[in-house]
Amino acid sequence: MMPESFLDSFDFSKDLSLYIHVPFCISKCDYCAFYSVPCLSDDVLDAYTARLVSEIDAVSRRMEGRPFVTAFIGGGNPGCLGPVRLGRIVQAVCANGRPSEFSTEMNPESLYEDYFPLFDGALTRLSMGVQSLDPAALRFLGRNADLDRTRRGLELSQKLKAFSGCDLSYDMITCLGDWHDELSDIKAITSGYPSDHLSVYALTLEEGTPLWRRNPDLPDTDRQYEILKEIWDYLEAKGFEHYEVSNFAMHGFRCEHNCRYWAYRQYMGLGPGAASTAFSEDGRVSRISFRQSASAYVGGGLFEGFDREVLSSKEACEELVLMGMRYKGGLDLSRAEEFSGVSVGRAIDPGFVSTLGGFHLEGGSLVPDDDGLMVADAAASTLLDLLY
């Protein structure tokens, strides 16, 4: 597929979010199924950064002076690049102005004060993969940072917030087994390290990972429900808004970049393994992904090495529904009608909504409460059966 067809898939008259994938890690965690490779030589990291910056520059030119509405640098671990390379990427993203929200992920062991200047006028949000403050859980998950290094990174993140005023988000993993005190772990992070945002994920065994091969005894569905409900209730009592299945924010601190995913808005992904949802000027929706090969990405030309699938209206509607019903921004019913061709307003009456359990109609959207978030996928399937 010709590289220029990548850019031609997007409607640059619409708001555009940018996701940048940094596939490098110090070591891969035992539970992780995302594409990543070990940190490579300086020459490879330099070449990776150079291609990425060139692609960002080309996209910025197509935007005719408008900034990205949001941007997110994820991984892997962007900290593997070092502050100079990461700074070049940050500078390229801000060429047309700073996005309204500009986040980077960083593992605790990789954060140093050398990164702080990037948050002074450019990056607005740090998302740190903590996962646990229980040393036994860190070993169980195969994390490369022990508790001491995890706490050092957390303390530096608190110092960074005082220095720059940036937003802080911490990721935690729960539902590890009966041996693990799930709620105490969440209490430890909220009491010891205040943040604006928490992502709390139930551990799943991803096929092919070391943890999957070990096949530990994880909580069953009923026990997971009990654990998650206890954590959700605790966090909401602490002032966090539960706004997506796994995400909690203080008022005004939702991750706007991820909200655009869940609302099924246009975003571009750059880097090996990165995905995009593109809305072209003629209304077609495309799912695009770069192939998972850091070496091919480093050695390739601009926008080479991607696959593109044009979605049918039904496929696009399915994605819209599946994402919208797990997010308290709600499913926009007018967009569901646009994609499906079904008069959604007549199909989705209060009687039908009551059968879903945990959803209500609000301002033209179908919105879940906490009970709805627990059954979001099943409810989406029920709705799609109605539409098709």
Separation CA 302–CA 289 (nearest Å): 14
The pLDDT, as a whole number, for residue 348 is 83
Domain range list for the chain: 4-260, 313-388
Query: CATH topology for 313-388?
Result: Arc Repressor Mutant, subunit A (1.10.10)
pLDDT per residue as tens, the chain (388 positions): 566 689 999 999 999 999 999 999 998 999 999 999 988 789 999 999 999 999 999 999 999 999 999 999 999 999 999 999 999 999 999 999 999 999 999 999 999 999 999 999 999 999 999 999 999 999 999 998 999 999 999 999 999 999 999 999 999 999 999 999 999 999 999 999 999 999 999 999 999 999 999 999 999 999 999 999 999 999 999 999 999 999 999 999 999 999 999 999 999 999 999 999 999 888 889 999 999 999 999 999 999 999 999 999 999 999 999 999 999 999 999 999 888 888 877 778 888 899 998 999 998 899 999 999 999 999 999 999 988 8
Q: Which residues contact 385 (CB under 8 A, 6 or more apart)?
A: none
The pLDDT, as a whole number, for residue 4 is 63
> What count of residues does the chain have?
388
CATH classification for the domain delimited by 4-260, as one of 3.40.50.300, 3.30.565.10, 3.40.640.10, 3.80.30.20: 3.80.30.20
The pLDDT, as a whole number, for residue 2 is 60
Spatial contact of 178 and 226, defined as CB atoms under 8 Å apart: no
Give CA torsion, residues 75, 18, 206, 45, to 10 deg.
-30
